């Protein structure tokens, strides 16, 4: 069986000369592009920086220590690569809460066909009686 050649889409890969720039690739792996974005937003639009990156600010994450954080995360993943379940609190069964810019948005989850029929029957029963 033959497969088509894999397209190289790594950050720092040049399609023209078909070579990988290791420095650019390293920058992207360790969050250099995130730090650059944070610096740009902080300089150009401080209000937007405060609102969009508020969680980073609360946790004390600044553009200068992003690479250190990424290195710690990579080291932790290498030690134990098994995926762990999040410690986040569970929400109600039929609603999920989305937090966007300190606003809570309730999004109703879709229910399956069986539950939908049961709900419809219950609604008809309550309406009639």
Q: CA-CA distances (angstroms) from residue 124 to 25, 119, 128? A: 61, 9, 6
- Which position has the higher pLDDT, 19 or 63? 63
In this prediction, residue 128 carries a pLDDT of: 82
Asked whether residue 114 carries a pLDDT value surpassing 50, the answer given is yes
Instruction: Please name the residue that has the structure tokens 């539950």.
Output: 115
Provide the token pair at 19. 């070579």
The string of pLDDT tens digits covering residues 58-79 is 999 898 999 999 999 999 999 9
In this prediction, residue 125 carries a pLDDT of: 87
In this prediction, residue 71 carries a pLDDT of: 93
Residues 90-99, mean pLDDT to the nearest whole number? 55
Residues with Cβ within 8 Å of 59's Cβ and at least 6 positions away in sequence, in order, are: none
- Which position has the higher pLDDT, 62 or 83? 62
Instruction: Please name the residue that has the structure tokens 């219950």.
Output: 122
What is the percent of the chain with per-residue pLDDT over 70, rounded to a whole number? Answer: 77
Question: What CA–CA distance (Å, rounded) separates 61 from 110?
Answer: 36
């Amino acid at each position: 069986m033959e497969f088509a050649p894999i397209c190289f889409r790594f950050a720092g890969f040049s399609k023209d000369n078909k070579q990988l720039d290791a420095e650019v690739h390293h920058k992207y792996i360790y969050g250099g592009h995130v730090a650059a974005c944070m610096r740009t937003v902080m300089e150009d639009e401080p209000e937007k920086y405060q609102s969009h990156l508020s969680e980073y600010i609360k946790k004390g994450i600044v553009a200068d220590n992003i690479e250190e954080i990424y290195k710690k995360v990579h080291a932790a993943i290498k030690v134990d690569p098994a995926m762990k379940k999040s410690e986040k609190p569970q929400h109600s069964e039929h609603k999920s809460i989305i937090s966007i810019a300190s606003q809570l948005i309730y999004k109703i989850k879709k229910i399956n066909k069986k539950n939908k029929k049961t709900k419809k029957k219950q609604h008809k029963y309550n309406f009639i009686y």
